[in-house]
A and B are shown apart, each in its own frame.
Chain A
Amino acid sequence: MRKYLTLFVLTVFFSVIAVLSLPPIINDGEEPQISDEWEPNLPVNETISPFLPDEPPNNEEETEGIDKGNTTGEEVLEIPMGLYASLRRYASDHILVKFKKGFEEEFFPLVAAASGASLIEPMSIERVAKVYVGEEQSVESLLNKFRESRIVEWAELDYYAFPAIAGVLLRPEDINDPLYPLQWHLKRIGFEEALRRNPSAGEGITIAVIDTGVSYGDGNSFPSMKAPDLETAKFVNGWDFVDNDPFPYDEGSLIPESIYSIGHGTFVATEIAAGLGNGLAGVGISPNVSIMPIRVLDTDGFGLYSWIAEGIRYAADHGADVINLSLGGLSSSQVLQEAVIYAYNKGITLVAAAGNLATKPEFNGDVLYPAKYPQVIAVGATSYRGGRASYSNYGPNIFITAPAGETSSSIVDNNKRDAVLSVTFVIDTTTGEVTYGAFWFNGTSFATPQVSAAVALIRALGVTDNEAIKLMLRETAIDRGLAGFDEHTGHGELNLERLHKGIGFN
């Protein structure tokens, strides 16, 4: 009996020691120890830079041995960073006003007369109107008058957004060549495996491309013609909020300080929905989606927030599932945020470009609006090397990145350029010549449609909850830069292969 007693006392002794060495039963708020021990089968290139951001190879030493193609300097057109942002900040002829509930439009002439405004024009947004400045009046003074008014909920300047394009390689690739092998961004994000697992290719999902419009028409002449490689793409009715008509054709947007105008929205659309297996150019990520073209950026590349807000609400009211916003502006705005919330509350997924001002300290490199709103998935860009592209805006609001190249667009491997290849047009404004072809573009503008297309693919499988979509994107992204979430690359780089393999328990 005594030896059993000794045995039991020893057992209890060691049990007590074990228990005392455990964490306390009362949780004191500390995180439990969680270890991420391995991350197998990463489909990434192995030359990922440990430095953030990636430096563009822009001097002779760094580019030695790299075929730069035409080295006259005319071929690669880098968009001067911050130029869009510097040129126009807000409309100088009107402000935006939201009147309080119960205030009727019939009183607008009286309000205009009392305030000195020349005109109050109702918008398609409930209780919101454009109030135009009167003679010898500035927008600032008009704004102050309305902000002090008791009949006004809010009044603000009508800011400009601009396309989030960083660079253009102006030489078109031969459109008749199958260019898929050059679309390295597709391989990088696991496109083929996603297609194998999800042959729906986005069937039944509508992506609103809120941009410069899209070359989607059935006409024979520019701009009402269809871009090559969009022949098999599906379109639903959209709207042109620049010209206020139902024909949101892409008329191009002028690249500041250049003679070229480019089809920004068309490029975005072909990235999403270019034909698959048609022998033309490259492929889109979700070729079976329907594109809803909505034009909000004018031929100078600028879009008033009021147009964008109306565009978002139009998309939300006309059946869009995903809204792609490859644009952004520096200022927050009521009209824009309310439109974003309106769409989000309807269950629509909004995806927007982070912007390309990271190299310009005067703009502090922070994420642009509307990407910065919490209802929007903010997309940054990575380069071929794998780190954040030098231009890509960053900060705590960055959610995810996708490969969109560096501004140099240098050849990185076997004729692949450090940019995204897809189909659009370039206009030489001196001659008016329009050239459709496959071009290399870079900027967060072209990372964004990759994420929009990914959302479409996942929505086509039945995932409709925005939080579920965000969770799946972040869980399956490939970590870039610093381990875990970081302000340069967010939760990592989009990966369709992992997205389609699903997520785990914890």
Chain B
Amino acid sequence: MKIKTGVIFFSLLASTLHAAKPRFAIGGHIGTFDMTNAQKSYNAVYGDPILTVGFDAEMIILKGLAFHLTIETGSVEGRQVILTPNPQPTDQKSTFSMTPIHLTVGYLFGEKKPWSFLAGGGITTVEWSDTNSLRRTSGNSTGFHVLLSIRKEWEKFNVGANLRYSSIPNAIGRGGVSRFYGEDDIGGLSIDIISMYKF
């Protein structure tokens, strides 16, 4: 029954998309992610923003309805700390890794013009892990994001910048510095340089 429903659903979807004359683009990005939602904890142990690389796919239908998929990954190294009023780092290494997937629905303004602008929002899911000499914790957490993107358009490709704010609540805060500061959200601000090839 489920398979039958799925087949019907995606047949309808495919025919709808065909009728909507979709335009496609795929590409990649490099960027930085700053965990602003757990700022105190993050700055205490890691401090530096996380460098990210990722894959992007985009579909535009109708006059500018855009679906944007981003899969990225990054990690950062820091030091465990003694919890003084200004946390003191020790020589013990700590590593945070994350692989977020963002699915955005938005609107692309000026698709055929030299400069285009995309604004949207969607869901984010993050596979993350935090490893130090005391323990390794990991999880899969879900939240939301908003995305602003500006691109310089050419006939077959574009280059642009993405600004994304995400919120991933209830991810951390069970232990360590994040428990002390009462921070549980691993979302934050990311800035990416993106380039995509248009079909």
Give A residues with C-beta under 8 Å from B.
4-9, 11-13, 15, 18-19, 22-25, 27, 32-41, 197, 458, 461-465, 467-468, 471-472, 475-476, 498, 500-506
Q: Could you tell me if B177 and A504 are in contact, using CB atoms closer than 8 angstroms?
A: yes
Q: In whole angstroms, what is the CA distance A458 to B101 when docked?
A: 41
Q: In whole angstroms, what is the CA distance A498 to B132 when docked?
A: 11
From 83 to 135 in chain B, residues with beta carbon under 8 angstroms from any chain A beta carbon are 83-85, 88-92, 94, 96, 101, 103, 123, 125, 130, 132-135
Q: Does B33 contact A (CB under 8 A)?
A: no
Of the residues A11, A32, A505, contact of B69 by C-beta under 8 Å: A11
Task: Other than A22-B142, A463-B84, A506-B178, give 11 A-B pairs with Cβ distance below 8 A.
Answer: A12-B59, A19-B123, A498-B133, A501-B92, A502-B81, A502-B90, A503-B134, A505-B41, A505-B44, A505-B96, A506-B130
B179 cross-chain contacts in A, Cβ below 8 A: 471, 506
Of the residues B14, B125, B135, B170, contact of A39 by C-beta under 8 Å: B135
From A11, A12, A18, residue with most partner B Cβ within 10 Å? A12
Of the residues A15, A19, A25, A38, contact of B144 by C-beta under 8 Å: A25
Contact A23:B142 (CB < 8 A) given known A8-B59, A475-B176, A505-B172: yes
Q: Could you tell me if B135 and A463 are in contact, using CB atoms closer than 8 angstroms?
A: no
For this complex, 20 residue pairs linking A to B, each with C-beta atoms less than 8 Å apart, are A4-B199, A5-B17, A5-B18, A5-B22, A8-B22, A11-B57, A15-B103, A23-B142, A32-B171, A463-B83, A468-B180, A472-B82, A501-B80, A502-B89, A503-B176, A504-B130, A504-B132, A505-B46, A506-B175, A506-B178
Q: Chain B: which residue is nearest A21 at the CB level?
A: B125
B85 cross-chain contacts in A, Cβ below 8 A: 462, 464-465
Q: Does B39 contact A (CB under 8 A)?
A: no
Q: Does B62 contact A (CB under 8 A)?
A: no
From 151 to 199 in chain B, residues with beta carbon under 8 angstroms from any chain A beta carbon are 169-180, 199
Q: Could you tell me if B142 and A25 are in contact, using CB atoms closer than 8 angstroms?
A: yes
Q: Chain B: which residue is nearest A464 at the CB level?
A: B85
Q: Could you tell me if B94 and A504 are in contact, using CB atoms closer than 8 angstroms?
A: yes
Q: In whole angstroms, what is the CA distance A475 to B90 when docked?
A: 15
Q: Could you tell me if B141 and A32 are in contact, using CB atoms closer than 8 angstroms?
A: yes
Q: In whole angstroms, what is the CA distance A197 to B91 when docked?
A: 10
Q: Could you tell me if B135 and A36 are in contact, using CB atoms closer than 8 angstroms?
A: yes
Q: Could you tell me if B175 and A461 are in contact, using CB atoms closer than 8 angstroms?
A: no
Contact A471:B135 (CB < 8 A) given known A22-B140, A27-B170, A502-B89: no
Of the residues B24, B136, B177, contact of A38 by C-beta under 8 Å: B136
Q: Could you tell me if A27 and B169 are in contact, using CB atoms closer than 8 angstroms?
A: yes
Q: Could you tell me if A461 and B82 are in contact, using CB atoms closer than 8 angstroms?
A: yes
Q: Does B8 contact A (CB under 8 A)?
A: no
From A8, A471, A503, residue with most partner B Cβ within 10 Å? A503
Contact A475:B137 (CB < 8 A) given known A505-B41, A505-B94, A506-B178: no
B173 cross-chain contacts in A, Cβ below 8 A: 506
Q: Could you tell me if A471 and B41 are in contact, using CB atoms closer than 8 angstroms?
A: no
A463 cross-chain contacts in B, Cβ below 8 A: 82-84
CB distance from A58 to the nearest CB of B (A): 36
A40 cross-chain contacts in B, Cβ below 8 A: 133
Number of interface residues of B (CB under 8 A): 62
Contact A504:B80 (CB < 8 A) given known A5-B22, A11-B57, A15-B69: yes
A6 cross-chain contacts in B, Cβ below 8 A: 14
Of the residues B130, B140, B143, B174, contact of A25 by C-beta under 8 Å: B143
Q: Does B78 contact A (CB under 8 A)?
A: yes
Q: Chain A: which residue is nearest B86 at the CB level?
A: A462
Q: Could you tell me if B125 and A19 are in contact, using CB atoms closer than 8 angstroms?
A: yes
Give B residues with C-beta under 8 Å from A.
10, 13-14, 17-18, 22, 24, 41-42, 44-46, 57, 59, 67, 69, 78-85, 88-92, 94, 96, 101, 103, 123, 125, 130, 132-144, 169-180, 199
Q: Could you tell me if B178 and A505 are in contact, using CB atoms closer than 8 angstroms?
A: yes
Q: In whole angstroms, what is the CA distance A283 to B82 when docked?
A: 25
Q: Could you tell me if A37 and B138 are in contact, using CB atoms closer than 8 angstroms?
A: yes
Q: Could you tell me if A34 and B90 are in contact, using CB atoms closer than 8 angstroms?
A: no
CB distance from B14 to the nearest CB of A (A): 5
Q: Could you tell me if A32 and B134 are in contact, using CB atoms closer than 8 angstroms?
A: no
CB distance from B157 to the nearest CB of A (A): 15
Of the residues A4, A23, A505, contact of B42 by C-beta under 8 Å: A505
Q: Could you tell me if B175 and A22 are in contact, using CB atoms closer than 8 angstroms?
A: no
Q: Chain A: which residue is nearest B128 at the CB level?
A: A506
Of the residues A18, A38, A504, contact of B176 by C-beta under 8 Å: A504
A462 cross-chain contacts in B, Cβ below 8 A: 82, 84-85, 88
CB distance from B55 to the nearest CB of A (A): 11
Q: Could you tell me if B69 and A506 are in contact, using CB atoms closer than 8 angstroms?
A: no
Q: Could you tell me if A25 and B69 are in contact, using CB atoms closer than 8 angstroms?
A: no
Q: Chain B: which residue is nearest A3 at the CB level?
A: B199
Of the residues B42, B80, B82, B180, contact of A458 by C-beta under 8 Å: B82
B135 cross-chain contacts in A, Cβ below 8 A: 36-39, 504
A468 cross-chain contacts in B, Cβ below 8 A: 83-84, 180
Q: Could you tell me if B176 and A500 are in contact, using CB atoms closer than 8 angstroms?
A: no
CB distance from A75 to the nearest CB of B (A): 41
A465 cross-chain contacts in B, Cβ below 8 A: 83, 85
CB distance from A470 to the nearest CB of B (A): 10
Contact A35:B136 (CB < 8 A) given known A467-B180, A472-B82, A505-B177: yes
Of the residues A13, A19, A35, A39, contact of B10 by C-beta under 8 Å: A13
B45 cross-chain contacts in A, Cβ below 8 A: 504-505
Q: In whole angstroms, what is the CA distance A501 to B170 when docked?
A: 27
Q: Chain B: which residue is nearest A36 at the CB level?
A: B135
Q: Chain A: which residue is nearest B143 at the CB level?
A: A25
B134 cross-chain contacts in A, Cβ below 8 A: 39, 475-476, 498, 503-504
Q: Could you tell me if B22 and A506 are in contact, using CB atoms closer than 8 angstroms?
A: no
Of the residues B142, B175, B178, contact of A24 by C-beta under 8 Å: B142
Of the residues A19, A33, A41, A505, contact of B132 by C-beta under 8 Å: A505
CB distance from B23 to the nearest CB of A (A): 10
CB distance from B33 to the nearest CB of A (A): 15
Q: In whole angstroms, what is the CA distance A32 to B14 when docked?
A: 35
B18 cross-chain contacts in A, Cβ below 8 A: 5
Contact A36:B133 (CB < 8 A) given known A458-B82, A501-B92: no
Q: Could you tell me if A35 and B138 are in contact, using CB atoms closer than 8 angstroms?
A: yes
Q: Could you tell me if B59 and A501 are in contact, using CB atoms closer than 8 angstroms?
A: no
Q: In whole angstroms, what is the CA distance A4 to B59 when docked?
A: 11
State the 7 A-B residue pairs at the shortest beta-carbon distance, nearest first: A504-B132, A502-B80, A462-B84, A468-B83, A502-B90, A506-B172, A505-B45
